[in-house]
Structure 1
Amino acid sequence: MKQTFHPALRPLTVAVLLAQTFGVSAADDLYISEYIEGSSNNKALEIANTTGADIDLAAYEVQYFFNGSLTAGTTLNLTGTVPAGEVYVVASSAANDTILGQADFTSGSSFYNGDDAITLLNGGVVVDSIGQIGTDPGSQWGDSNNGTQNQTLRRKSNVTAGDTNADDAFDPSLEWDAFPQDTFDGLGSLDGANPGDGDGDDGDTGGVAAGQCGETATFIHVVQGSGNSSPLVDSAVIVEGLVTAVREDGFFIQEEVADEDGDPATSEGLFIVSAEAPVVGNIARVAGSVGEFFGRTQLADVSDIVDCAVTAEASSTLISLPLQAGADLESLEGMQVRVADLKISDVNDLWRFGEVGLSNEIKRQPTDVYAPGTSEYEALVAANAENQVYLEDTSAASFPPELSFYTQFSYSNTIRIGDIVSAAGPLNFSFGKYKINPTEPVVVIGTREALPELQSGNLTIASFNVLNYFNGEVQADGTVSFDYSANRGASSPEAFELQQARIVDAIRKLDADVIGLMEIENDGYDQSSAIQSLVDAVNADIPEAEQFAFVATADGGLLGTDAIAVGLLYRPAVVTPDGIAKEVPMPIQTLENGNLVQMRTALLQSFSHVDTEERFAVAVNHFKSKGSQCLEDGASPTLIDTAQGSCNALRVSAAITLGEAMTSADLPERLMILGDLNAYSAEDPIAILTEYDPAERGYTIKTAMNTAADGGASVEVTETFGYTNVAEQFDPNGFSYWFFGSGQVGSLDHILVNDAMLDDIVDATHWNINAPEPYQLQYDQALRFYPDSEGYSFTEVGPYRSSDHDPFLVSLNLEAAAPATPVGDFNKDGRITGKDLAALIGQLYRKVTDTNAQFDLTGDGRITLKDFFAFLRLLR
C-alpha cells in the first residue's frame, strides 16, 4: 500500500517558501529595520541580518545622541549572534510585555526620544543611523505623517543597507514607512526585508510524480556529492530512502544500508523541505528540486511524496569529539548520528532557537589562561571554534513552547554548561552549525552542586556579584516604587522578591564569614538602604551566631558616585571590624570630548578574628567593565587591547591604584584583594597585581592615558605587587563567568592574597550556581517571558541563577600567635624560678653559641656575673 501527496504539496508555509525559494537579499552588514518610539518607555530597535551569514555581535554597539549632542549619552554593547535571515531586537527594559517578548537585548539605560540621533556601529564604524548627530531638530525628524516622534518606522522593502553617514541631513520618508504610535505587530520579523511577492508560489517542479516504490531513483549520496555543495543544484530529482525524523518545516530521509556507496566523503542523508511528511520509519519516494540553503543541501519545491509503507534500516554514525585534524561533519549532513557523554558548552540560544551546543570540553576564554598574542593564546582561539555540534529543537520556532528533546526542563531540572549529554538523531546544517535533531529525549547527567565543596577552616571569605540588587525607592506615602531613573535592577515588587529570595538562599548556603559584594545599589546605609534590606532578609529566622552585619563608609554616605557600589558583609560572631573602613577612589579618564570615564570606588576594611585575635584586611573591588568605551578603544587598538575587552588600560591603572593604596595604608600583615575585577586570569590587571615578565609575555603592560597619574601619559609598567591568585593554586579549572555570545567560561571574580595570608589558606573553590545556568532562569527573564501559567517552572527559589557571576570562596585556618617567652625563662615553663637560675649558673663563662645565646642577658657576647646580677633583677 502507498500513500501519495501531490501535486506540489500545498500549502507550504509562507515563511518556509520565502526563505527556501527566494533566500535572503545580500547586504554588506547589519542595518536597522524597525524603529519604535512609542508611549511611555515603549522603545525598541529591530536590527536585520540579510548578509547571508551569521553575525557575531561582539564588535557591535548602539549609541544614542541626546538633544543634538555630539557625544553619545547611552552606549549599548550588543551581545550574542544574529543568524542569517533573522533579526535582533534592542528594547528598553521598561517597555511593555509585547515588546519585551520579542527582545533579544534589554537595557535600563536612557533610551531615545524623537529628537535624538541613533547609530549602529561595527568595530566603531557607523553601519546605520537615524537622525543627524549634532543637530537638534526640535521635536522630531520628519513630521506627524512620517517622523521619529510617537511613531513606528519600518525600513522600506527596497532598502537592505544602512545609512552610514550619521552627520548628513535625515529625512525619514526617503527610506522608512510610518505607522501609528504603539504599532508593535511587525517587531521581531524581517517584514519587508525579505524579497518575494508573498503570493505563496512554491516554484514547484511542474507536478513531477515520484513514481512507484522500488523504481529507479537518484541515490542520496549522488545528490550530496563529496563537496560542501551538491553537484546537482537546481536539478529535478527523485530520491527514495528511509524517513528518519520530522520537523515542522520538513523531514529527513536517508539511503538504506544496502544502497550506501561506502564513500566516507559523501552523505547518505538529505533534508526535504515540506509541510507534510510520511510516517517516520517508512521508506518514501520524493520528487523535488535540489538546492542549497545557507550551506545545507536539501530537496525543495517538492511535487510528490509517496509513502511506501514498508520499513528498512539505515545506518547511524557515532560522532566522537575532538574530530581528527582536517575533518568536519559535512559528510554526515542529513544522516542519523549519535553522541555520547559530550559536555554542554553553549546555551546562547537555548530558548531563543531551542539550541544547545556540545563539545568534548567546556570552552575556556583564551585570556583566562594565556596572555593575548602568545602562540598558546592563538591556538586556544582556534580550538574554541572547533569540535562543536548542537542539539536542535524540531519546532523551527523562536522561543518554542517547550524543548522537543528535553520536555521536562524547569528551574529545578535544567540543563546547563558542563552537563553530560548523550543523544541521537539526524544531523541538520542550519545557519552555520551542525545540529542533531534528537528523535527521543536526550540523556543528561547534571552537574549542579547543592552546597560549595570546600574544606573547612576557622574562617571563610567569599566574593559575590549580586547583579544589580536594587530594593526600590520609598515614596512619600510609604510605598516602594521600582520606577526611578537610577534603578538598574528589578522593575517590580514581584521581580525583586524573586531576586532577593534567591540571593538570600545563596548567601546562607555560602556559609561564609566575610562576603564582598558587587553591584548592590549605592544608596547609603540607613534602614531603607539596599544593603540593610539584604542583611535583614539574610538574618531573618537564622541563629544569632550566623547573622551578618555590614561595613559602612566612615561618614555613612554613598560609596563613590556610581549607581552601584561594592559592599562588605561580616559575621560579628566570627570577626570584628578593626578601625574604620577606607575608601579607595579609582582612576578617572578624560575623553577627547571632555567626558569622564569612571568606575566604582573600592572599600578597604581591617578585621580581627574573634577566636584567635589574628588580624587581616580585605579590599572589595569592582573594576571598569569590558563593555564600556575608553579612550584607548578608539585609538587603533591592537590585538592586545581587543582581546582583553574595552577599557583594559584603565583597569591596569585601577590595579596600580589599588596595589599602591594597600601598600601605603596602615594595615595588618595579612592582605586580601577580592571582587569582580572584570579581567580574566591571564589579563593585564591581574598580571600587575600578581607578577609578570614582559619578555615572557611578549609586551610591556601600559597604563591608561588622560588620568591624573603620570601627567596624563600612558606609561609602561614593570613593577608588580606580588599577590597570589588563589584560584591558580586551589581551583585552576574553576570559573566564575560564562560570557553570553562567546560560549566560553573564565574567571572575572578573583581572590588575591599576599604571602602572609597565603600560608593560612586551606582550600578555595568557585561555586558554579549562576554562570553555567541558562539566563532564562534569571529573575527578570523568568517572570517576564516564562511565567508558570504557560507551563514553565522558572520562578522557583534556590541559589541557582541568583546572579550571572559565580561566588568564589576561600577557607582559611588562622592560628593564634604563640605567646612570647619571658626573658630569663630558660626552661620555657612560663615562670622565672630557681630552675632558671641554676641553668644560668651552669652556663657561666662558657662561649656564647646559637644554643645558649639566651643566657647572655646583657648582650655583650659573654656569659658572666653581669648576666647573673641581671637575672636577679628579673626576680624583683
Structure 2
Amino acid sequence: MRVTSLLVATGVLLCSAPAAVAGPAVRIHDVQGTTRVSPLVGQRVTGVPGVVTGVRGFGSARGFWFQDPEPDGDPRTSEGLFVFTGEQTPAVAVGDVVAVDGTVTEHYPTAPEETPETTANQSVTQLVDATWQVTGRGAVPAEVVGPDSVPEEHAPLDGNIDKRELEPQRFALDHYESREGMLLRVDDARVVGPTDAYRALWVTSKPGQHANSRGGTTYTGYADPNSGRLKVESLADGPFPAADVGDLLRGSTEGPLDYTSYGGYVLEATRLGEHQPGGLQPESSRPQGEDELAIATYNVENLAPGDDPAKLDRLAEGVVEHLASPDVVALEEVQDNSGPVDDGVVAADETLGELTDAIAAAGGPRYLWRQIDPQDGADGGQPGGNIRVAFLYNPARVSFVDRPGGDATTPVHPVERLGGVGLSASPGRIDPGNEAWRDSRKPLVGEFLFRGRTVLVVANHFGSKGGDQPLHGRFQPPERGSEVQREQQAQAVRAFVDEALAIDERARVVVLGDLNDHGFSPAVQRLTAGGALVPLADSLPPLERYSYVYEGNAQQLDHVLATPSLRADYDVVHVNAEFADQVSDHDPQVARFTVR
C-alpha cells in the first residue's frame, strides 16, 4: 500500500490512500468489540478519534497506535488500536489527536491473510488503507500493570477462543486482549528473560510468581504458564539494555500493547525504565572427589569448525572452570566438519578436535572422544549440519570400553558380561531404525569403566518442540504435537534400560542430555515410571529445576536420570540461559556418582 501525506495551510495533516466508500463513524471500542475478532472486520470506518500513543517507524509493519481518551467503561473492549501503514513511516507523533478512516482487518502473524486458519497465533485488530487528520494535541494515561492486575488463570480451555466473549477479570490472555493497542505501564519491572538478538527481553509484573533464587520465573506445569510474564521491545532508536535475569528496569516502562508470533503480547516501549543490573553471576560447581565419577551434559548449540574462537574459549571455560572438568561429558548439537554446508560430509573429528584443544588450552584434561557419524541428513537439526551427540572423557580418570559393531544403523543391546551387564557394541546407538528417531538424533551409548566398575552412559538429544502451538495462541489448551515423538523416543530408551536391568538388577545406567521436555512431561514420566530411572533434578526444590529460559519461563529441558544403584550429587550449573551474553542457550549440568 502507498501512503502519502500533505501539510495544508490550515495546519491539518491529511493523508491520502485509495478511495473507499465511507461508512458509519465509530469509536475504537466499537472496532475492538468484546471478542478477539472485531465485529466490524472488513468494514470501512470513518472519523475514529483518538490520541497517538506510539509510532513504529521501522521494518515492513510500520504504523501507529492511537487510543480513545473517552472509554466506554466495558472491561472487555480495548480502547487502543493499531493503524498499519506498511513500509511507509506515518507522519504522526505521540500526543497527536487524530481522526482516522480505514478498513478493519484481523492480522494473524505468520499466516497469509487469506488463510488465517494456518496459524495458531492470535490476531491483531488493525486499520489498513488508512487516512487521518491531526486536529490537535492531547494525552491519555497509561494503565499500570501490577502484581494484582493480571489474573493467575491463563486462558479458557475452549479450543479456538477467537470469538469467545472475553473475561478479562478471570483469564490472563483475555486481560491482555482487552487491552490490545492500549498504553500500558509496568514499574520497577524485574527481568525474567534476558535480552535477545532482536532487542527484546521479558519482565514480570508479578515478582512473587514462581520466583526462583536467581530472579527468574520457573515454569512448573502446563496449567500454570506464569501470567505475569510480559515481553518488552522498544520503539526508540536508542540503545537497548543488555539485561540479564534478575536485573531491573527501574522506574516506568510504558508503551502500547502489541501482539506478535514471537512471544505473544509485547509492550512496545516508548519509554524504558533505567536498566539496573542485579549482579547475577555464572555458577561454578565443585570438583569431584577421588572416588566420585563426574558425568555432565552440555548442549553446545550447533558447534562447528570455524566458529568464533571466543565461542570455543567460553565453552572450554565452562567445562574446566564451571563444571570442574568432569570425567565424562555428553555433548549435544555437535555439527560435522563442514558445519551447516550441505555437502555430504558427516565426520565430526575436526569439530571435536577444536573443542578438546580449547579445553586443554584452558587448563583442562586432554579429553578423548567417542561418537558415531550419522547418515547424511537423517538426524534433523540445522540443514547440512548433521548434528549428533558425542562423549568426551578424561582417560586419566575413566576408561572407555571400545567394542566393534556400532554404526549409524546397527542397534546396540545390553549383554551379560562377567556376571554384570555390558554392551553388544561400544559406542552404539539405540534402535536407530525405529520410526521414533525419524529426523532426530539417535541416542549414543558408551560403556565406561571407573575404578573397575562398569557404567553405561546414554547420551540423548530428543526431538524439538518445533510445530507445537504456543502458550499465547488462540487454541487453548495448545496442542503439543511434538510430544508424541518424544514419548516414543523415551519408550525406546526405557526399553534399553529395562533390558539392562533384566540382566542385572543393579546395573549402573545413566541417561542424560537435552530431552527437549519438562520433568512433568509424558516423555520424562515414561522414562522414570516405576522407579527404573531416578530423575536427579528431584533433589532440587521445584523452583530451581531449570536449564533453559524461553519467553520468560525458566524451564527444565536437560536432564540426568540414573538407575537406583547409583547415588549422586547433582548440580545444574547456570552459566548461559539467564544471560544476554550467552555461548549456548542451555545450561550444562553435572552429577557426581558414588560407584559401588
TM-score by length of 1: 0.45
**Amino acid of the residue matched to residue 246 of structure 1?**
V
**Amino acid of the residue matched to residue 497 of structure 1?**
P
2:82 is the counterpart of 1:266: no
Q: Which residue of 1 aligns with 2:519?
A: 681
Give 1:550 deviation, angstroms. 2.9
Q: Which residue of 1 aligns with 2:458?
A: 621
| Structure 2 residue corresponding to 1:726, chosen from 536, 549, 553 | 536
Q: Which residue of 1 aligns with 2:11?
A: 4
Aligned equivalents of 2:335 and 2:178: distance in 1? 54
Give unpaired runs (5+ residues) of structure 1.
11-200, 209-216, 365-375, 395-403, 470-488, 609-614, 630-638, 693-719, 775-799, 818-876
Give 1:508 deviation, angstroms. 2.3
Give 1:671 deviation, angstroms. 6.1
Give 1:728 deviation, angstroms. 0.9
| Structure 2 residue corresponding to 1:504, chosen from 297, 305, 316 | 316
| Structure 2 residue corresponding to 1:286, chosen from 92, 99, 104 | 99
Aligned equivalents of 1:241 and 1:661: distance in 2? 70
| Structure 2 residue corresponding to 1:802, chosen from 565, 569, 583 | 583
Q: 1:565 to 1:321 in 2, by over 3 A?
A: same
Give 1:676 deviation, angstroms. 3.9
Give unpaired runs (5+ residues) of structure 2.
1-7, 108-122, 153-168, 213-218, 338-346, 376-385, 404-422, 467-477
Q: Which residue of 2 aligns with 1:120?
A: none
Q: Which residue of 2 aligns with 1:605?
A: 448
User: Could you list the per-position Cα deviations for residues 745-798 of structure 1 after superposition, in whole angstroms to 9, with x for gaps in the alignment?
Assistant: 64343223455542x63xx33223344567xxxxxxxxxxxxxxxxxxxxxxxx
- Does 1 or 2 have the higher relative contact order (CA < 8 Å, sep 6+)? 2
Q: Which residue of 1 aligns with 2:282?
A: 451
Q: 1:805 to 1:604 in 2, by over 3 A?
A: farther
**Amino acid of the residue matched to residue 245 of structure 1?**
G
- SS at structure 2 position matched to 1:728: helix
More deviation, 649-658/742-751: 742-751
Give 1:305 deviation, angstroms. 1.7
Aligned equivalents of 1:290 and 1:312: distance in 2? 25
Aligned equivalents of 2:489 and 2:29: distance in 1? 57
- SS at structure 2 position matched to 1:623: strand
- SS at structure 1 position matched to 2:316: helix
**Amino acid of the residue matched to residue 79 of structure 2?**
E
The alignment covers a number of residue pairs equal to 474
User: Could you list the per-position Cα deviations for residues 12-61 of structure 1 after superposition, in whole angstroms to 9, with x for gaps in the alignment?
Assistant: xxxxxxxxxxxxxxxxxxxxxxxxxxxxxxxxxxxxxxxxxxxxxxxxxx
Q: In terms of Rg, which structure is larger?
A: 1
Give 1:548 deviation, angstroms. 0.8
**Amino acid of the residue matched to residue 767 of structure 1?**
V
Q: Which residue of 1 aligns with 2:117?
A: none
- SS at structure 2 position matched to 1:549: coil
More deviation, 222-231/599-608: 222-231
Q: 1:446 to 1:203 in 2, by over 3 A?
A: farther
Q: Which residue of 1 aligns with 2:232?
A: 391
User: Could you list the per-position Cα deviations for residues 215-249 of structure 1 after superposition, in whole angstroms to 9, with x for gaps in the alignment?
Assistant: xx965445545554556663543344433222223
User: Could you list the per-position Cα deviations for residues 581-623 of structure 1 after superposition, in whole angstroms to 9, with x for gaps in the alignment?
Assistant: 862533435479xx99982431121223xxxxxx765443233
Give 1:441 deviation, angstroms. 2.4
| Structure 1 residue corresponding to 2:272, chosen from 430, 441, 445 | 441
| Structure 1 residue corresponding to 2:133, chosen from 305, 308, 327 | 305
**Amino acid of the residue matched to residue 339 of structure 1?**
V
Q: 1:415 to 1:2 in 2, by over 3 A?
A: farther
% identity of equivalent residues: 22
TM-score by length of 2: 0.63
Aligned equivalents of 1:289 and 1:677: distance in 2? 49
Q: 1:529 to 1:336 in 2, by over 3 A?
A: closer
Contact 1:561-1:600 at 8 Å conserved across structures? no
Q: 1:663 to 1:419 in 2, by over 3 A?
A: farther
| Structure 1 residue corresponding to 2:297, chosen from 450, 463, 467 | 463
**Amino acid of the residue matched to residue 649 of structure 1?**
Q
Aligned equivalents of 1:560 and 1:665: distance in 2? 30
Contact 2:549-2:578 at 8 Å conserved across structures? yes
- SS at structure 2 position matched to 1:244: strand
Contact 1:242-1:314 at 8 Å conserved across structures? no
User: Could you list the per-position Cα deviations for residues 428-457 of structure 1 after superposition, in whole angstroms to 9, with x for gaps in the alignment?
Assistant: 356694332211124556678533254676
2:8 is the counterpart of 1:202: no
User: Could you list the per-position Cα deviations for residues 461-519 of structure 1 after superposition, in whole angstroms to 9, with x for gaps in the alignment?
Assistant: 422233454xxxxxxxxxxxxxxxxxxx34xx3x2534422311221222233242224
Q: Which residue of 2 aligns with 1:769?
A: 575
* Mapping for residues 333-732 of structure 1, pairs under 5 Å: 333-340=180-187, 380-381=221-222, 383-384=224-225, 389-394=230-235, 404=236, 407-408=239-240, 413-414=242-243, 423-429=253-259, 433-442=264-273, 449-452=280-283, 454=285, 458=289, 460-469=294-303, 489-490=304-305, 493=306, 495=307, 497-510=309-322, 511-519=324-332, 520=334, 530-540=351-361, 542=363, 547-551=364-368, 559=372, 564-570=388-394, 572=396, 575=397, 577=399, 583=426, 585-588=428-431, 590=433, 599-608=442-451, 618-623=455-460, 625-626=462-463, 642=481, 644-646=483-485, 648-658=487-497, 660-661=499-500, 664=503, 672-677=510-515, 680-682=518-520, 686-687=524-525, 690-692=528-530, 721=532, 723-730=533-540, 732=542
User: Could you list the per-position Cα deviations for residues 314-370 of structure 1 after superposition, in whole angstroms to 9, with x for gaps in the alignment?
Assistant: 3534253335424423332332112346676779x9656x66565656899xxxxxx
**Amino acid of the residue matched to residue 496 of structure 2?**
T
Q: 1:591 to 1:291 in 2, by over 3 A?
A: same
Contact 1:590-1:596 at 8 Å conserved across structures? no
Q: 1:602 to 1:684 in 2, by over 3 A?
A: farther
Q: Which residue of 1 aligns with 2:216?
A: none
User: Could you list the per-position Cα deviations for residues 798-841 of structure 1 after superposition, in whole angstroms to 9, with x for gaps in the alignment?
Assistant: xx5433432012356x69x9xxxxxxxxxxxxxxxxxxxxxxxx
* Mapping for residues 161-240 of structure 1, pairs under 5 Å: 202-203=18-19, 220-221=28-29, 224-228=32-36, 234-240=43-49
Aligned equivalents of 1:803 and 1:241: distance in 2? 45
* Mapping for residues 155-166 of structure 1, pairs under 5 Å: none
- SS at structure 2 position matched to 1:506: helix
Higher strand share goes to which structure? 2
- SS at structure 2 position matched to 1:505: helix
